[in-house]
Amino acid sequence: MRRPGAVWTAAALAVASVLAVPSAVVLASLARPAREVWVHLWRTQLLEVLGNTLALVAGVGVGTLLVGGGLAWLVVTYRFPGARVFEWALILPLAVPAYVIGFAFLGLFDFTGPVQTALRAALGAGARLPALHSWGGVVLVMTLVFYPYVYLLARTAFREQGAATLETARSLGRSRLAAFREVTLPMARPSLVAGVSLAMMEALADIGTVATFGYRTLTESVYRVWYGMFDRAAAAQLASLLLLFALGMLALERGLRGRARFVQSQRRGAGIAPVRLRGGRAGAASAACAAVLGLAFALPVAQLLAWAGGALGGWRAPRFAALLGHTLLLAGLAATLAALLALVLAYAGRLHPSPGVRLAARSASMGYALPGAVIAVGVLVPLAWLDHGLAGALGWLAGHPVPLLLTGSAAGLVFAYVARFLSVSFQTVEASLGKIPPSLDDAARSLGAGAGGTLGRVHLPLMRGGLLTALLLVFVETMKELPATLLLRPLGLDTLAIEVWERTSEAMWADAAAPALAIVAAGLAPVVVAIRLSGRRAS
Amino acid sequence: MRATPFRSPLLALALLAALPAAAGAQAPGEIVVYSARSHYNQEPAFEAFTRKTGIAIRTLGGNAPELFERLKAEGDRTPADVLITVDAGNLWNAARAGLLARVDSPELAQSIPAHLRDPEHRWVGLTTRARTIMYHTKKVSPAELSTYEALGDPKWKGRLCLRTSSHVYNQSLIATMIKRHGESRVEDVLRAWIANKPVLINSDTKILEAIAAGQCDVGLANTYYLGRLVAKDPAFPVLPFWANQQTTGTHVNISGGGVTAHARHRAGAIKLLEFLTSPEAQQMFADANFEFPANPQAGLNPVVARWGKFRQDDINVAATGEFQAAATRVADRAGYK
């Protein structure tokens, strides 16, 4: 008999080695260090920029853990006015691109915005708010933008936990809070860590928000060297440092997950029964949810609506339909492919947990920590190399010149999306798969099911929530994605995000509001579907 | 058999193959333009060209450094015939990398002043952008203003708004200063600006709004941003001051274009550039975005004309590319973020 999982291991290694190419291209730039640039950066900014980056990533990690994890705990385990609505509504900010929230915040709260203008009118010309162009401002905005990752994963984890464990702890005399700390939290830890590390990687790779807020991070320096010194090679070397950051976070993540493994002995059976809050506590819970939702969703959307105002008239329906169609199709393809490949990687790791497979999966999902334009060039260069070879061969066979087939094709673009967002689907799928007890695998196998059959009939039904989360996250990410789309899209294939970029690159926000709203609206649909499919609160 | 996950990749591939068809196949003779100008999809001058010649144009928009990478990766199989960017530095860089071809067209040479095109004839300016001092009309008298360099005078302490030095418009201004005065003198100028504790803002529009709202009294911005604001609100309390009229002239940059080295429609591409630099098309550029036409025969938009005539710095705009990396380094050394 073949060793179980040999085919899966081979498939995982193949998938991983293809998806790791873009990151490898970036790392390969280190072969010829741009000494002069490094010396210059060291003398002028490198330490400051590294410090800023660490501070930002740490701030966003803590911020998203508190907001995302806290809100998830609140809506799963308590009843308070609006809880049912908040439970799904708190996912909505996911559909708002980071740069939209950032710009809406600046528009409202910086010196020229209505809030400070009113303050000055009331209190005199010296009245000021704390500066948004600061660590605090950037962390606040990024926490609001990225907390849904943690929230989504934590909510699924809390809900997938049976009530029995929590109640056993309670019957043993633990208070609700102690039971949460000692039972619920450790069991949800893989999901929380996965969500937080996604948020931290996003913060690491972000350029839109840090540029808007004038906060210098490593990613900002990457662009400065690339755009400002025409030195893409040195920029790629600098970006390799981001991969080191990501590696550090992975190590941290491993450490935090600890050696303990938590599996669930039962499926949802009875979920945690929510406790009704009363009086001031209920009010406080509602207010916390409303505040986050208001800042992260209602406020930017209201600002967009205000900007859009009469500008909606300039929209031609056929163009809008084409943009929407392209956006949805690309996002759908990328989400499906990323989920499938993540499943292959995660399942291979489960069947045969060798360091090789684990390393392969990790290196395939490193791209997430790289700025989008950098990873896009990492896709472009090898793709074009392959393509020239292909076109040469085909042209020789055909007897006439053949154009490039992959460069600037939808296939190349979807590959870039998957290379960029695999981390999102992999983290989600792996966390979900890890909660299924291995005894189930053994039982299925002893009843004669193969590795594939066990996955299809035992694991997939149990992972429904996790898989849906993975699909949803990559779908929405792809819809908002800009740099890879800009660089790799086929001629004439514009998306909603491109339309927003075209209009905002010159700060014409009123013009951009309509397509930005369309992105938000299109992002809401899968959010709602996912919530429906993942089942209502078990009560 | 249950639906396995493995049938869907095939479906996905089929959909991918269909996508380019959905986006529309390229028509024969169609010119492909890679453009970094915003609103690349709505250039009135492109539409006029197609009406006039029957030649269709297809554009791919993007940031100049990324369009550069794509052009380079596509090499001799690129579909692009023309590259348009919003800064001479990026054209200079593309020409240096061999991505643009020399075009000897007497028409281009006649339409566009020598300092706004490549000395080696690989790119040419389409519009001119002046970057100059902006001031609050009620708080600053033009008599207090003179040069870019003088913004380092301590009297502007706490009254200055600047764009971050990461943006190409400021890098270009600094680059031309370096070409003229050398790195160390320019570093002193930047140090003096920074000593005035400027508010750093990453948007020209926001700088103008900050001046209007009283956050600062003077700043640097491209004039067309002011044009847009004034067109919306004629009472907008900010005016441009033409910097360095007694010395070097006011800094100008271009948006411009060139024919790619491997253009498949070279003749059509040259015809397009010649049309875009003609007075007719130049008028359209000027009206669409409050820019200055690169061809001096074209008239100004009335909003722009109100700001009066000024002397341009006639240093060749290629300097913005040549000294851009130096500009970034000098800004870094001076602590200008």
Domain co-membership, B220 together with B184:
yes
pLDDT at residue A513 is higher than 60: yes
What's residue B79's pLDDT?
A: 94
Residue B8 lies in a domain: no
What's residue A534's pLDDT?
A: 62
List the single best residue of B217, B323, B332 to mutate versus A (max A Cβ within 10 A). Answer: B332
Residues B124 and A4: their CA atoms lie apart, in Å, by 65
**Secondary element (H or E) of residue A275:** strand A275-276
In angstroms, the separation between the Cα of residue A222 and the nearest Cα of chain B is 11
Q: Note whether A458 contacts B: Cβ–Cβ < 8 A.
A: no
Please, are residues B78 and B262 in contact by the beta-carbon 8 Å criterion? yes
Q: How confident is the model at residue A309 (pLDDT cuts 50, 70, 90)?
A: confident
Q: Note whether A464 contacts B: Cβ–Cβ < 8 A.
A: no
* Nearest residue of chain A to residue B62 (CA atoms): A486
- A71 or A270, higher pLDDT: A71
pLDDT at residue A500 is higher than 90: no
Mean pLDDT to the nearest integer, B23-34: 75
Domain co-membership, B210 together with B143:
yes
Mean pLDDT to the nearest integer, B226-230: 93
Helix A496-504 vs helix A98-109: crossing angle, to nearest 10: 30
Domain co-membership, B237 together with B271:
no
What's residue A318's pLDDT?
A: 79
pLDDT at residue A345 is higher than 70: yes
What separation in angstroms does the CA of B264 have from each of A2, B67, B138?
56, 18, 55
Domain co-membership, B43 together with B115:
yes
* Nearest residue of chain A to residue B164 (CA atoms): A214
Of B2, B66, B73, the CB nearest to A407: B73
Domain co-membership, B245 together with B152:
yes
Portion of chain A with pLDDT greater than 70, in percent: 92
Specify the pairing of strand B292-293 against strand B124-136. Answer: antiparallel
Chain A residues 186-245 with CB within 8 Å of chain B: 211-212, 214, 216, 220, 223-232
Q: Note whether A328 contacts B: Cβ–Cβ < 8 A.
A: no
Q: Pick the closest to residue A477 from A335, A371, A346 (CA basis).
A: A335
Mean pLDDT to the nearest integer, A327-331: 93
pLDDT at residue A326 is higher than 80: yes
pLDDT at residue A528 is higher than 90: no
Domain co-membership, B147 together with B270:
no
Chain B residues whose CB is inside 8 A of the A103 CB are none
Mean pLDDT to the nearest integer, B283-307: 90
What's residue A1's pLDDT?
A: 44
Point out which residues pair with A430 in neighbouring strands: none
Domain co-membership, B204 together with B323:
yes
| Domain of residue B279, CATH code | 3.40.190.10
Residue B45 lies in a domain: yes
Q: What is the phi/psi pair of residue B250, to 5°?
A: -75, 140
pLDDT at residue A436 is higher than 60: yes
Domain co-membership, B143 together with B218:
yes
Portion of chain B with pLDDT greater than 90, in percent: 80
Mean pLDDT to the nearest integer, A514-522: 86
Instruction: Say whether B79 and A388 touch across the interface (CB within 8 A).
Output: no
Q: Which residue has the tokens 């199709």?
A: A329
pTM: 0.89
What's residue A131's pLDDT?
A: 80
Domain co-membership, B216 together with B111:
no
State the Cα torsion A182-A187-A188-A189 to the nearest 10°: 80
Residue B9 lies in a domain: no
Residue B13 lies in a domain: no
In angstroms, the separation between the Cα of residue B106 and the nearest Cα of chain A is 31
Chain A residues 16-55 with CB within 8 Å of chain B: 40-41, 43-45
A-B Cβ pairs (cutoff 8 Å, strict)? 171
3-class secondary-structure state, position B259: strand
pLDDT at residue B19 is higher than 70: no
> DSSP E strands: which ranges in A50-114?
78-79
Residue B285 lies in a domain: yes
pLDDT at residue B250 is higher than 70: yes
pLDDT at residue B4 is higher than 60: no
- A281 or A167, higher pLDDT: A281
What's residue A171's pLDDT?
A: 83
Domain co-membership, B167 together with B288:
no
A259-268 burial by CB neighbour count: b if 16+ within 10 A, else e?
eeebebeeeb
* Gyration radius of chain A over CA positions: 24
pLDDT at residue A382 is higher than 50: yes
Of A40, A226, A388, the CB nearest to B65: A226
Residue B76 lies in a domain: yes
Residue B259 lies in a domain: yes
Domain co-membership, B321 together with B244:
yes
- A453 or A508, higher pLDDT: A453
Mean pLDDT to the nearest integer, A79-107: 87
pLDDT at residue B1 is higher than 80: no
Chain B residues whose CB is inside 8 A of the A331 CB are none
Q: How confident is the model at residue B21 (pLDDT cuts 50, 70, 90)?
A: very low
What's residue A237's pLDDT?
A: 92
Tell me how many degrees the CA angle A29-A34-A40 measures, rounded to the nearest 5: 135
Alpha helices, DSSP H, located in A134-207: 135-160, 163-171, 176-179, 185-205
- A308 or A483, higher pLDDT: A483
Mean pLDDT to the nearest integer, B289-316: 92
pLDDT digits (tens, 9 = 90+) for A225-234: 999 988 988 9
List the single best residue of B8, B26, B63, B169 to mutate versus A (max A Cβ within 10 A). Answer: B63
Q: How confident is the model at residue A3 (pLDDT cuts 50, 70, 90)?
A: low
Q: Note whether A132 contacts B: Cβ–Cβ < 8 A.
A: no
List the single best residue of A25, A111, A478 to mutate versus B (max B Cβ within 10 A). Answer: A111
Please, are residues A413 and A449 in contact by the beta-carbon 8 Å criterion? no
In angstroms, the separation between the Cα of residue B309 and the nearest Cα of chain A is 25
pLDDT digits (tens, 9 = 90+) for A103-117: 888 888 888 888 888
Mean pLDDT to the nearest integer, B197-208: 92
pLDDT at residue A102 is higher than 70: yes
* Nearest residue of chain A to residue B35 (CA atoms): A502
Q: What is the phi/psi pair of residue A344, to 5°?
A: -60, -50
3-class secondary-structure state, position A76: helix
* Ramachandran assignment for B54, one of left (phi > 0), alpha (psi -120 to 50 degrees), beta (any other): left
Q: Note whether A445 contacts B: Cβ–Cβ < 8 A.
A: no
* Gyration radius of chain B over CA positions: 22
Q: How many residues does chain B have?
A: 337
Mean pLDDT to the nearest integer, B123-148: 96
Mean pLDDT to the nearest integer, B145-161: 96
What burial class does residue A288 get, using C-beta atoms within 10 Å of its C-beta: 0-12 exposed, 13-18 middle, 19+ buried? middle
Residue B162 lies in a domain: yes
3-class secondary-structure state, position B32: strand
pLDDT digits (tens, 9 = 90+) for A122-144: 888 778 888 888 899 999 999 99
What's residue A303's pLDDT?
A: 86
Q: Pick the closest to residue A20 from A306, A345, A254 (CA basis).
A: A345
* Nearest residue of chain A to residue B63 (CA atoms): A486
Domain co-membership, B45 together with B107:
yes
Tell me how many degrees the CA angle A315-A316-A321 measures, rounded to the nearest 5: 105
Chain B residues whose CB is inside 8 A of the A410 CB are 16, 19-20
Domains of chain A: 1-21+315-505 (1.10.3720.10), 33-99+125-311 (1.10.3720.10)
pLDDT digits (tens, 9 = 90+) for A7-33: 888 999 999 999 999 999 998 998 888
Chain A residues 394-413 with CB within 8 Å of chain B: 401, 403-404, 407-411
Q: Which residues contact A216 (CB under 8 A, 6 or more apart)?
A: A45, A48, A49, A52, A210, B337
pLDDT at residue B24 is higher than 80: no
What's residue A364's pLDDT?
A: 84
Instruction: Say whether A333 and B16 touch across the interface (CB within 8 A).
Output: yes
Q: How confident is the model at residue A516 (pLDDT cuts 50, 70, 90)?
A: confident
Other beta carbons within 10 angstroms of residue B160's beta carbon come to: 23
Mean pLDDT to the nearest integer, B309-324: 95
Instruction: Say whether A112 and B212 touch across the interface (CB within 8 A).
Output: yes
Of A41, A232, A337, the CB nearest to B69: A232
Look at A362-376, A482-496, B13-27 and tell me which has the smallest mean pLDDT: B13-27
Specify the pairing of strand B124-136 against strand B57-61. Answer: unpaired
Residues B165 and B144: their CA atoms lie apart, in Å, by 25
Q: Provide DSSP, A453-501.
A: HHIIIIIHHHTHHHHHHHHHHHHHHHHH--HHHHHHPPTT---HHHHHH
Average pLDDT of chain A to the nearest whole number? 86
In the numeric block, which tokens belong to residue A379? 């896709």
Of B9, B24, B39, the CB nearest to A492: B24
Q: Helix, strand, coil: what percent of chain B each, to 5?
A: 45, 15, 35
Of B9, B22, B40, the CB nearest to A337: B9
What's residue A537's pLDDT?
A: 41
Q: Note whether A453 contacts B: Cβ–Cβ < 8 A.
A: no
pLDDT at residue B3 is higher than 60: no
pLDDT at residue B25 is higher than 70: no
pLDDT digits (tens, 9 = 90+) for A154-204: 988 888 776 777 778 888 888 878 888 888 888 888 889 889 988 999 999
What's residue B11's pLDDT?
A: 57
Q: Note whether A500 contacts B: Cβ–Cβ < 8 A.
A: no
- For residue B216, give its domain range: 129-251+311-333
What's residue A114's pLDDT?
A: 86
* Nearest residue of chain B to residue A211 (CA atoms): B202
Chain B residues whose CB is inside 8 A of the A106 CB are 206
Chain A residues whose CB is inside 8 A of the B164 CB are 211, 214
In angstroms, the separation between the Cα of residue A300 and the nearest Cα of chain B is 18
Q: Pick the closest to residue B57 from B27, B25, B86 (CA basis).
A: B27
3-class secondary-structure state, position B40: helix
Number of domains in chain B: 2
Chain A residues whose CB is inside 8 A of the B26 CB are 491
Please, are residues A254 and A197 in contact by the beta-carbon 8 Å criterion? no
Q: How confident is the model at residue A208 (pLDDT cuts 50, 70, 90)?
A: confident
Residues B146 and B241: their CA atoms lie apart, in Å, by 8
